[in-house]
Amino acid sequence: MANKLIVATVFFLAVGNTSFAEAEKNIDWNTETLSGDWGGIRSDLYNRGFSLEFSHKSDVMTNLSGGIKQGTAWMGYADAKIEIDMEKLLGLDATTAYVLYHGELGGKFDRDYVGSFLSVNNIEVGTNTAQFQHAWVKRNFFDNNFSVLAGLYAADSEFYVTETSSVFTQTPYGAANDWGQSKPPIYPVGALAIRAKYVSPKQDYYLQGAVTDAVPGNPNHPHGTHIKLGDGTFSIVELGYTPQAGKHSTASGQQDDSDEGNTSLKKLAVGYWRYSTPADDQDPTNLDASGNPVRHPNQGAYFLAERTLLAEEGDPSQGLSGFVRFGVANKDVYRVDWTGNVGMHYRGLIAERDDDIAAIGVTVSHASAIYQRINASLSSETGVEATYRAQVKKWLALQPTLQHILHPNMDPSAKDAWVFGVRIETAF
Protein backbone atom coordinates (compact mmCIF):
# COMPACT_ATOMS: atom_id res chain seq x y z
CA MET A 1 0.00 0.00 0.00
CA ALA A 2 2.79 2.41 0.92
CA ASN A 3 4.52 1.71 -2.40
CA LYS A 4 1.38 2.62 -4.34
CA LEU A 5 0.77 5.82 -2.38
CA ILE A 6 4.31 7.07 -2.92
CA VAL A 7 4.33 6.21 -6.62
CA ALA A 8 0.96 7.90 -7.09
CA THR A 9 2.18 11.06 -5.37
CA VAL A 10 5.29 11.29 -7.53
CA PHE A 11 3.25 10.64 -10.70
CA PHE A 12 0.77 13.37 -9.78
CA LEU A 13 3.59 15.87 -9.24
CA ALA A 14 5.21 14.88 -12.51
CA VAL A 15 2.18 15.47 -14.71
CA GLY A 16 0.52 18.26 -12.75
CA ASN A 17 2.50 21.11 -14.35
CA THR A 18 4.22 21.42 -17.71
CA SER A 19 5.57 24.98 -17.57
CA PHE A 20 9.25 25.54 -18.30
CA ALA A 21 11.83 27.27 -16.12
CA GLU A 22 15.45 28.13 -16.72
CA ALA A 23 17.93 25.55 -15.49
CA GLU A 24 20.01 26.75 -12.57
CA LYS A 25 23.08 24.89 -13.74
CA ASN A 26 24.26 23.06 -16.79
CA ILE A 27 24.64 19.29 -16.49
CA ASP A 28 26.37 17.34 -19.23
CA TRP A 29 24.30 14.17 -19.02
CA ASN A 30 26.14 12.62 -21.98
CA THR A 31 29.46 12.86 -20.12
CA GLU A 32 28.36 12.21 -16.55
CA THR A 33 25.98 9.29 -17.18
CA LEU A 34 26.07 6.10 -19.23
CA SER A 35 22.59 6.53 -20.72
CA GLY A 36 23.11 10.17 -21.65
CA ASP A 37 20.47 12.83 -22.18
CA TRP A 38 17.86 10.50 -23.70
CA GLY A 39 17.58 12.67 -26.80
CA GLY A 40 17.02 15.81 -24.73
CA ILE A 41 14.31 14.33 -22.50
CA ARG A 42 16.49 14.43 -19.39
CA SER A 43 17.38 18.11 -19.86
CA ASP A 44 13.73 18.88 -20.54
CA LEU A 45 12.70 17.21 -17.28
CA TYR A 46 15.44 19.03 -15.40
CA ASN A 47 14.19 22.39 -16.69
CA ARG A 48 10.73 21.46 -15.46
CA GLY A 49 12.12 20.78 -11.97
CA PHE A 50 13.00 17.07 -12.08
CA SER A 51 16.51 15.81 -11.44
CA LEU A 52 16.76 12.06 -12.13
CA GLU A 53 19.65 9.86 -11.03
CA PHE A 54 20.10 6.13 -11.46
CA SER A 55 23.03 4.08 -10.19
CA HIS A 56 24.18 0.50 -9.77
CA LYS A 57 26.86 -1.18 -7.66
CA SER A 58 28.20 -4.69 -8.16
CA ASP A 59 30.48 -6.16 -5.50
CA VAL A 60 32.44 -9.39 -5.78
CA MET A 61 33.94 -10.34 -2.40
CA THR A 62 36.27 -13.23 -1.53
CA ASN A 63 37.20 -14.47 1.91
CA LEU A 64 40.81 -15.54 1.47
CA SER A 65 41.27 -17.01 4.96
CA GLY A 66 39.80 -17.11 8.45
CA GLY A 67 36.25 -16.18 9.39
CA ILE A 68 33.60 -18.84 8.79
CA LYS A 69 34.91 -20.31 5.54
CA GLN A 70 36.70 -19.41 2.35
CA GLY A 71 34.59 -18.49 -0.63
CA THR A 72 33.25 -15.82 -2.98
CA ALA A 73 29.91 -14.06 -3.32
CA TRP A 74 28.35 -11.39 -5.53
CA MET A 75 26.06 -8.64 -4.27
CA GLY A 76 24.24 -5.99 -6.25
CA TYR A 77 22.58 -2.69 -5.42
CA ALA A 78 20.54 -0.37 -7.68
CA ASP A 79 18.68 2.83 -6.96
CA ALA A 80 16.59 5.56 -8.56
CA LYS A 81 16.59 9.09 -7.14
CA ILE A 82 14.17 11.86 -8.02
CA GLU A 83 14.65 15.38 -6.69
CA ILE A 84 11.85 17.81 -7.52
CA ASP A 85 12.19 21.58 -7.42
CA MET A 86 8.69 22.47 -6.28
CA GLU A 87 9.21 26.14 -7.06
CA LYS A 88 9.74 25.34 -10.72
CA LEU A 89 6.98 22.79 -10.77
CA LEU A 90 4.22 24.31 -8.68
CA GLY A 91 5.47 27.73 -7.62
CA LEU A 92 6.15 26.62 -4.02
CA ASP A 93 9.03 28.80 -2.88
CA ALA A 94 12.12 27.11 -1.36
CA THR A 95 10.48 23.68 -1.40
CA THR A 96 12.03 20.38 -2.51
CA ALA A 97 10.64 16.86 -2.78
CA TYR A 98 12.90 13.84 -2.84
CA VAL A 99 12.37 10.13 -3.47
CA LEU A 100 14.91 7.30 -3.30
CA TYR A 101 13.91 3.78 -4.32
CA HIS A 102 16.48 0.98 -4.12
CA GLY A 103 16.85 -2.77 -4.33
CA GLU A 104 19.44 -5.43 -3.53
CA LEU A 105 20.35 -8.76 -5.09
CA GLY A 106 22.89 -11.50 -4.58
CA GLY A 107 24.40 -13.40 -1.69
CA LYS A 108 25.13 -12.75 1.97
CA PHE A 109 28.89 -12.61 1.97
CA ASP A 110 29.59 -11.46 5.52
CA ARG A 111 26.90 -13.68 7.01
CA ASP A 112 28.02 -16.83 5.19
CA TYR A 113 31.79 -16.40 4.88
CA VAL A 114 33.19 -13.90 7.42
CA GLY A 115 30.77 -13.56 10.33
CA SER A 116 32.03 -10.17 11.52
CA PHE A 117 30.18 -7.77 13.80
CA LEU A 118 30.98 -4.70 11.71
CA SER A 119 29.93 -6.27 8.34
CA VAL A 120 32.55 -6.06 5.64
CA ASN A 121 30.14 -4.97 2.87
CA ASN A 122 27.82 -1.98 3.13
CA ILE A 123 25.32 -3.08 0.48
CA GLU A 124 24.68 -6.47 2.09
CA VAL A 125 21.23 -6.51 3.69
CA GLY A 126 19.30 -9.03 5.74
CA THR A 127 16.58 -9.53 3.12
CA ASN A 128 16.92 -8.81 -0.59
CA THR A 129 14.02 -6.62 -1.65
CA ALA A 130 13.13 -3.34 -3.34
CA GLN A 131 11.74 -0.47 -1.29
CA PHE A 132 11.51 3.27 -0.75
CA GLN A 133 14.14 4.56 1.65
CA HIS A 134 13.31 8.27 1.26
CA ALA A 135 10.11 10.02 0.21
CA TRP A 136 9.93 13.46 1.79
CA VAL A 137 9.23 17.14 1.25
CA LYS A 138 11.53 19.88 2.61
CA ARG A 139 10.81 23.58 3.01
CA ASN A 140 13.46 26.25 3.67
CA PHE A 141 12.81 29.43 5.67
CA PHE A 142 14.65 32.60 6.72
CA ASP A 143 16.98 32.91 3.72
CA ASN A 144 17.55 29.14 3.77
CA ASN A 145 19.01 29.20 7.29
CA PHE A 146 16.23 26.99 8.64
CA SER A 147 14.58 23.97 7.04
CA VAL A 148 11.90 21.46 7.95
CA LEU A 149 11.64 18.03 6.33
CA ALA A 150 8.75 15.57 6.66
CA GLY A 151 8.11 12.14 5.22
CA LEU A 152 9.90 8.81 4.85
CA TYR A 153 13.49 9.44 5.91
CA ALA A 154 16.72 7.62 6.78
CA ALA A 155 18.67 9.45 9.49
CA ASP A 156 22.12 8.32 8.33
CA SER A 157 21.76 10.59 5.29
CA GLU A 158 22.51 13.61 7.52
CA PHE A 159 23.48 12.47 11.03
CA TYR A 160 26.81 10.96 12.18
CA VAL A 161 28.25 11.64 8.71
CA THR A 162 31.75 12.48 7.49
CA GLU A 163 32.50 12.94 3.80
CA THR A 164 36.03 11.55 4.15
CA SER A 165 34.79 8.16 5.39
CA SER A 166 32.16 7.66 2.68
CA VAL A 167 34.55 5.95 0.23
CA PHE A 168 34.91 2.76 2.30
CA THR A 169 32.96 -0.44 1.60
CA GLN A 170 32.80 -1.64 5.21
CA THR A 171 29.54 -0.76 6.95
CA PRO A 172 30.63 1.28 10.02
CA TYR A 173 32.03 4.15 7.96
CA GLY A 174 28.43 5.06 7.19
CA ALA A 175 26.17 4.45 10.17
CA ALA A 176 28.63 3.49 12.93
CA ASN A 177 27.88 0.20 14.71
CA ASP A 178 27.38 1.73 18.16
CA TRP A 179 24.28 3.41 16.68
CA GLY A 180 23.45 0.91 13.95
CA GLN A 181 23.11 -2.04 16.36
CA SER A 182 19.97 -0.37 17.78
CA LYS A 183 18.18 -0.83 14.39
CA PRO A 184 17.36 2.86 13.82
CA PRO A 185 15.95 4.30 10.56
CA ILE A 186 19.12 3.97 8.47
CA TYR A 187 19.97 2.20 5.21
CA PRO A 188 18.26 0.15 3.93
CA VAL A 189 14.99 1.16 5.67
CA GLY A 190 13.63 4.64 6.36
CA ALA A 191 10.86 5.67 8.75
CA LEU A 192 8.25 8.39 8.95
CA ALA A 193 10.04 11.42 10.37
CA ILE A 194 10.16 15.14 10.96
CA ARG A 195 13.61 16.73 10.72
CA ALA A 196 14.47 20.38 11.48
CA LYS A 197 17.83 22.05 10.82
CA TYR A 198 19.24 25.49 11.56
CA VAL A 199 22.42 26.77 9.88
CA SER A 200 24.02 30.00 11.07
CA PRO A 201 24.12 32.92 8.59
CA LYS A 202 27.87 32.41 8.07
CA GLN A 203 27.29 28.68 7.41
CA ASP A 204 29.77 27.69 10.13
CA TYR A 205 27.45 26.30 12.82
CA TYR A 206 24.42 24.05 12.53
CA LEU A 207 21.93 22.36 14.83
CA GLN A 208 19.71 19.58 13.53
CA GLY A 209 17.26 17.19 15.11
CA ALA A 210 14.84 14.51 13.99
CA VAL A 211 11.99 12.53 15.49
CA THR A 212 11.06 9.31 13.70
CA ASP A 213 9.07 6.14 14.15
CA ALA A 214 11.12 3.93 16.47
CA VAL A 215 10.93 0.81 14.28
CA PRO A 216 11.48 1.47 10.57
CA GLY A 217 9.41 -0.64 8.22
CA ASN A 218 7.73 -3.75 9.55
CA PRO A 219 10.11 -6.46 10.82
CA ASN A 220 7.42 -9.09 10.25
CA HIS A 221 7.17 -8.13 6.56
CA PRO A 222 10.69 -7.34 5.32
CA HIS A 223 9.78 -7.28 1.61
CA GLY A 224 8.77 -3.96 0.10
CA THR A 225 7.93 -0.68 1.82
CA HIS A 226 5.87 -0.80 5.01
CA ILE A 227 4.93 1.73 7.65
CA LYS A 228 3.92 0.35 11.04
CA LEU A 229 3.33 2.88 13.81
CA GLY A 230 2.81 2.34 17.52
CA ASP A 231 6.30 1.30 18.61
CA GLY A 232 7.34 4.61 20.16
CA THR A 233 9.73 7.16 18.72
CA PHE A 234 13.40 7.57 17.98
CA SER A 235 15.01 10.99 18.45
CA ILE A 236 18.42 12.29 17.44
CA VAL A 237 20.07 15.70 17.71
CA GLU A 238 23.44 16.91 16.39
CA LEU A 239 25.37 20.14 16.94
CA GLY A 240 28.12 20.82 14.43
CA TYR A 241 30.82 23.29 13.48
CA THR A 242 31.78 23.50 9.80
CA PRO A 243 34.14 26.46 9.43
CA GLN A 244 34.45 28.01 6.01
CA ALA A 245 38.12 27.05 5.89
CA GLY A 246 40.60 29.10 3.91
CA LYS A 247 38.23 32.00 3.27
CA HIS A 248 39.68 35.46 3.76
CA SER A 249 38.93 38.91 2.48
CA THR A 250 40.99 40.35 -0.35
CA ALA A 251 41.86 44.02 -0.77
CA SER A 252 38.69 44.48 -2.81
CA GLY A 253 36.59 43.01 -0.01
CA GLN A 254 35.75 39.82 -1.95
CA GLN A 255 36.01 36.34 -0.44
CA ASP A 256 38.94 34.19 -1.58
CA ASP A 257 38.15 30.48 -1.24
CA SER A 258 41.66 29.20 -1.90
CA ASP A 259 43.10 26.83 0.69
CA GLU A 260 46.26 25.79 -1.09
CA GLY A 261 48.73 23.94 1.06
CA ASN A 262 46.82 24.71 4.25
CA THR A 263 45.38 22.37 6.85
CA SER A 264 41.84 23.16 7.96
CA LEU A 265 39.06 21.76 10.06
CA LYS A 266 36.19 20.60 7.86
CA LYS A 267 33.70 19.41 10.45
CA LEU A 268 33.35 18.94 14.19
CA ALA A 269 30.12 17.55 15.67
CA VAL A 270 28.56 15.89 18.70
CA GLY A 271 25.28 13.99 18.72
CA TYR A 272 22.86 12.22 21.02
CA TRP A 273 20.14 9.66 20.25
CA ARG A 274 17.41 8.06 22.33
CA TYR A 275 14.34 5.83 21.98
CA SER A 276 11.16 6.71 23.85
CA THR A 277 10.76 3.09 24.97
CA PRO A 278 13.31 1.57 27.39
CA ALA A 279 15.15 -1.62 26.38
CA ASP A 280 15.60 -4.91 28.20
CA ASP A 281 18.82 -5.71 29.98
CA GLN A 282 20.90 -7.98 27.75
CA ASP A 283 21.48 -10.35 30.68
CA PRO A 284 18.38 -12.62 30.72
CA THR A 285 18.95 -13.40 34.40
CA ASN A 286 18.73 -9.76 35.47
CA LEU A 287 15.05 -9.54 36.48
CA ASP A 288 13.00 -7.11 38.50
CA ALA A 289 10.77 -7.97 41.49
CA SER A 290 7.97 -9.05 39.13
CA GLY A 291 10.19 -11.47 37.25
CA ASN A 292 10.41 -9.28 34.16
CA PRO A 293 13.69 -8.18 32.53
CA VAL A 294 15.17 -5.03 34.03
CA ARG A 295 14.76 -2.13 31.60
CA HIS A 296 17.22 0.68 30.85
CA PRO A 297 17.26 3.92 28.86
CA ASN A 298 17.82 3.11 25.20
CA GLN A 299 20.33 5.78 24.22
CA GLY A 300 23.76 6.70 22.95
CA ALA A 301 26.03 9.58 21.96
CA TYR A 302 28.80 10.28 19.48
CA PHE A 303 31.59 12.62 18.46
CA LEU A 304 33.22 13.17 15.07
CA ALA A 305 35.91 15.35 13.55
CA GLU A 306 37.12 15.75 9.99
CA ARG A 307 39.88 17.93 8.61
CA THR A 308 42.05 18.63 5.59
CA LEU A 309 45.59 17.51 6.34
CA LEU A 310 47.20 18.59 3.08
CA ALA A 311 45.66 20.51 0.17
CA GLU A 312 47.34 20.44 -3.22
CA GLU A 313 48.35 23.70 -4.80
CA GLY A 314 46.08 24.79 -7.61
CA ASP A 315 43.18 22.57 -6.54
CA PRO A 316 42.27 22.50 -2.82
CA SER A 317 39.70 19.75 -3.47
CA GLN A 318 42.64 17.40 -3.97
CA GLY A 319 44.90 16.26 -1.18
CA LEU A 320 44.85 14.40 2.12
CA SER A 321 41.89 14.42 4.52
CA GLY A 322 41.40 12.58 7.80
CA PHE A 323 38.57 11.75 10.17
CA VAL A 324 37.89 10.31 13.60
CA ARG A 325 34.55 9.15 15.02
CA PHE A 326 33.69 7.74 18.42
CA GLY A 327 30.31 6.63 19.75
CA VAL A 328 28.87 4.99 22.86
CA ALA A 329 25.69 3.01 23.56
CA ASN A 330 24.12 1.81 26.81
CA LYS A 331 26.38 -0.97 28.09
CA ASP A 332 23.48 -2.66 29.89
CA VAL A 333 21.47 -3.01 26.67
CA TYR A 334 23.87 -3.55 23.78
CA ARG A 335 26.60 -5.96 22.83
CA VAL A 336 28.97 -3.13 21.90
CA ASP A 337 29.29 -0.26 24.38
CA TRP A 338 31.60 1.82 22.19
CA THR A 339 33.03 1.93 18.70
CA GLY A 340 35.62 4.16 17.13
CA ASN A 341 37.03 4.56 13.68
CA VAL A 342 39.80 6.64 12.21
CA GLY A 343 41.04 6.98 8.67
CA MET A 344 42.45 9.04 5.85
CA HIS A 345 41.83 9.45 2.17
CA TYR A 346 43.84 11.12 -0.57
CA ARG A 347 42.09 12.49 -3.64
CA GLY A 348 44.35 12.78 -6.68
CA LEU A 349 47.30 10.84 -5.28
CA ILE A 350 48.47 9.79 -8.75
CA ALA A 351 49.28 12.39 -11.39
CA GLU A 352 46.61 12.71 -14.09
CA ARG A 353 44.17 10.80 -11.84
CA ASP A 354 42.57 13.81 -10.15
CA ASP A 355 39.29 12.13 -9.18
CA ASP A 356 40.74 8.87 -7.81
CA ILE A 357 40.66 8.30 -4.04
CA ALA A 358 43.09 6.16 -2.02
CA ALA A 359 41.97 5.47 1.56
CA ILE A 360 42.73 3.47 4.68
CA GLY A 361 40.60 3.13 7.80
CA VAL A 362 40.49 1.24 11.11
CA THR A 363 37.39 0.45 13.19
CA VAL A 364 37.35 -0.95 16.72
CA SER A 365 34.14 -2.35 18.25
CA HIS A 366 34.35 -2.94 22.00
CA ALA A 367 32.16 -5.57 23.65
CA SER A 368 30.45 -4.53 26.88
CA ALA A 369 31.47 -6.28 30.10
CA ILE A 370 28.03 -7.88 30.37
CA TYR A 371 28.20 -9.29 26.85
CA GLN A 372 31.71 -10.62 27.45
CA ARG A 373 30.58 -12.35 30.64
CA ILE A 374 27.41 -14.03 29.37
CA ASN A 375 28.89 -15.00 25.98
CA ALA A 376 32.49 -15.74 26.98
CA SER A 377 33.53 -13.40 24.19
CA LEU A 378 36.68 -11.46 23.48
CA SER A 379 36.75 -7.78 24.37
CA SER A 380 36.75 -6.36 20.85
CA GLU A 381 36.79 -6.78 17.09
CA THR A 382 39.02 -4.68 14.83
CA GLY A 383 38.50 -4.12 11.12
CA VAL A 384 41.04 -2.59 8.75
CA GLU A 385 40.28 -1.56 5.18
CA ALA A 386 42.56 -0.25 2.43
CA THR A 387 40.85 0.75 -0.81
CA TYR A 388 41.40 2.65 -4.04
CA ARG A 389 38.48 4.12 -5.99
CA ALA A 390 39.49 4.70 -9.61
CA GLN A 391 37.20 7.05 -11.54
CA VAL A 392 37.51 5.39 -14.94
CA LYS A 393 34.83 7.58 -16.55
CA LYS A 394 32.59 10.25 -15.08
CA TRP A 395 29.91 7.56 -14.93
CA LEU A 396 32.10 4.54 -14.05
CA ALA A 397 34.24 3.76 -11.00
CA LEU A 398 36.28 0.65 -10.22
CA GLN A 399 37.19 0.07 -6.56
CA PRO A 400 39.30 -2.80 -5.19
CA THR A 401 39.38 -3.28 -1.42
CA LEU A 402 41.56 -5.31 0.94
CA GLN A 403 40.33 -5.94 4.48
CA HIS A 404 41.65 -7.60 7.61
CA ILE A 405 39.23 -8.53 10.41
CA LEU A 406 40.81 -9.32 13.78
CA HIS A 407 38.69 -11.46 16.15
CA PRO A 408 35.55 -11.64 13.96
CA ASN A 409 32.38 -11.22 16.03
CA MET A 410 34.54 -11.20 19.21
CA ASP A 411 34.47 -14.99 18.93
CA PRO A 412 37.57 -16.58 20.55
CA SER A 413 37.26 -19.60 18.26
CA ALA A 414 37.16 -17.56 15.01
CA LYS A 415 40.36 -17.00 13.06
CA ASP A 416 41.28 -13.56 11.76
CA ALA A 417 39.92 -13.03 8.25
CA TRP A 418 41.51 -11.61 5.11
CA VAL A 419 39.02 -10.32 2.54
CA PHE A 420 39.52 -9.02 -0.99
CA GLY A 421 36.81 -7.47 -3.11
CA VAL A 422 36.08 -5.31 -6.13
CA ARG A 423 33.23 -2.84 -6.56
CA ILE A 424 32.00 -1.58 -9.93
CA GLU A 425 29.82 1.53 -9.68
CA THR A 426 27.87 2.94 -12.62
CA ALA A 427 25.80 6.11 -13.00
CA PHE A 428 23.11 5.65 -15.65
Asked if omega into 412 is within 30° of 0 (cis), the reply is: no
Instruction: Give tens-digit pLDDT for 334-367.
Output: 999 999 999 999 999 999 999 999 999 999 999 9
pTM, two decimal places: 0.88
Which of 331-334's residues contact partners 24+ apart within 8 Å by CB, and which partners?
331/368, 331/369, 331/370, 332/281, 332/282, 332/294, 332/296, 332/368, 332/370, 333/279, 333/280, 333/281, 333/282, 333/296, 333/298, 334/178, 334/181, 334/182, 334/282, 334/368, 334/371
Q: 257 and 243 in contact (C-beta within 8 Å)?
A: no
Q: How many CB atoms lie within 10 A of CB 218?
A: 16
Per-residue HEC secondary structure of 117-179 comes to CCCCCCCCCCCCCEEEEEEEEEEEECCCCEEEEEEEECHHHCCCCCCHHHHCCCHHHCCCHHH
Dihedral, 103, 107, 110, 111 alpha carbons, nearest 10: 100
Helix ranges (DSSP H) in 21-141: 29-32, 41-48, 86-90, 109
Per-residue pLDDT of the chain (428 residues; tens, 9 = 90+): 444 444 444 333 333 333 333 334 578 999 999 999 999 999 999 999 999 999 999 999 999 999 999 999 999 999 999 999 999 999 999 999 999 999 999 999 999 999 999 999 999 999 999 999 999 999 999 999 999 999 999 999 999 999 999 999 999 999 999 999 999 999 999 999 999 999 999 989 999 999 999 999 999 999 999 999 989 999 999 999 999 744 433 333 334 444 444 569 999 999 999 999 999 999 999 999 999 999 999 999 999 999 999 998 888 889 999 999 999 999 999 999 999 999 999 999 999 999 999 999 999 999 999 999 999 999 999 999 999 999 999 999 999 999 999 999 999 999 999 999 999 999 99
DSSP structural state of residue 293 = B
CA end-to-end span of the chain: 28
Q: Name 248's Cβ contacts closer than 8 Å, sequence gap at least 6.
A: 255, 256
